[in-house]
Structure 1
Amino acid sequence: ILDRGKLFHSYVEQSLQNKIEDDFKIVEQYIKSVKSVLEDIESVRLLESRVIHPYLHYQGFVDCVGLYRGNPVVIDFKTSAKPKSTLSSTYDSPLQVAAYLGAMNYDPSYETLPNISSALIVIAYETGMPANVHCLNEKKCLKYWDFWCKRLLQFKNMNCEPR
């Protein structure tokens, strides 16, 4: 399953660069699921790019930064066997994209990018059913950023106690 996830992400990356070079037969249902979403993404600025928050000391890999239906967003692509039609069914994915947004907006490597305040979580399905697209506007991103900061503080406090 992990290999399928990596292969799917590779397809998304190659598709958004308009250069499909590999054989993606094994993930064709995920591709079918997400195809119409990819058509709405343009002006891609980043793909599979490492972000580091210089003050909060965490890092991650952003799947994509681009325009979705004309709006600048951080995009996180997920695969799933089960439907995830609500944002809450994506578990910690909103925290993850909020953390990426926070890191990207503070990471000096990305200072040439405009400040991005919205995110997208795209769930592709192994059955080929149409992907669910969860849009997080600035208000939602700030809400999940707050949750993320609390969780990060909790983690740091757990790991700072003497043994």
Structure 2
Amino acid sequence: MQDLRGNFLPSFTTIRDKMRSPAEKARLACWRKNKGYQANLACQIGRLGHRQIENYFNNGDKSCPVILQRHWEKALPVLNKIHNIRLVESPIFHYYEGYAGRVDCVGKFDNLPDEMVFEFKFSDRIRIYDEQKLQLAAYTAGLNRHYGHPYNVQINSGILITITPNEVDITFIDRLEMNKYWKQWQKQVNQFWLQYPNIA
């Protein structure tokens, strides 16, 4: 990802893809091969879903493509509980650790007092992976580093929202769990830069 000054940093996804074990890469390739059209459809729904949420938070647009309709009907009641939104689909750069990302949303949820990082996932069924929590920890730390001093941002928790055609799952990540995954992410980033020192 490129910042406003023309500097490049590898994204969360780039680092994760590079650091997967051979067994993980084989499983992912097998899944894509077996799913075929369904895998492409899932990616399309994910992209459309994120664009839809961005439009909704920015201008209140509730209309959506037919392909997304069932997911969107389930998502709206949950999205309506998110308020005091500060960022939507915004890039973050953690120059000290050496990675970048695009955070889905920063705001407050329902009657909870603290600001949180929100990560939205679109799927055909509820599945919570460690990688999703790793991503949330990486983006939270990136936000605190990128926006901390000028904007008084200090976020310690997050919410992973998984949206399917049938239901929505809301998984809270508290400070302790966030710290656990942040340490794991730091190790991966450090290992990445040892293996790929000239990638940026």
Q: Give the TM-score normalised by structure 1.
A: 0.86
2:100 aligned to 30, 37, 59, which one?
59
What is the SS of the residue equivalent to 1:82? coil
2:61 and 2:149 mapped to 1: Cα distance?
27
Larger mean Cα displacement after TM superposition, 115-124 or 152-161? 152-161
4+ runs deviating over 6 angstroms: none
2:70 aligned partner: 29
Point out the structure with the larger helix share.
2
1:140 and 1:132 mapped to 2: Cα distance?
18
For 1:30-49, what aligned pairs fall within 5 Å after superposition? 30-49=71-90
Q: Is the 8 A contact 2:108 2:116 kept in 1?
A: yes
1:19 and 1:40 mapped to 2: Cα distance?
14
1:150 aligned partner: 187
The verdict on how the C-alpha distance between 1:122 and 1:108 changes in structure 2, with shifts beyond 3 A counting, is closer
2:175 aligned partner: 138
1:159 aligned partner: 196
Q: Give the TM-score normalised by structure 2.
A: 0.71
2:149 and 2:103 mapped to 1: Cα distance?
12
Taking only the aligned residue pairs, the percentage that are identical comes to 26
The verdict on how the C-alpha distance between 1:54 and 1:47 changes in structure 2, with shifts beyond 3 A counting, is same
What is the SS of the residue equivalent to 1:81? coil
Q: Is the 8 A contact 2:88 2:104 kept in 1?
A: yes
**Count of aligned residue pairs for this structure pair:** 155
List alignment gaps of at least 5 residues for structure 1. Answer: none
2:166 aligned to 111, 116, 129, which one?
129
Q: CA deviation at 1:158?
A: 2.2
Bigger Cα Rg: 2
1:39 and 1:7 mapped to 2: Cα distance?
19
How large is the Cα RMSD of the aligned pairs? Answer: 2.0
2:129 and 2:73 mapped to 1: Cα distance?
20
Larger mean Cα displacement after TM superposition, 108-117 or 129-138? 108-117
Point out the structure with the larger strand share.
1
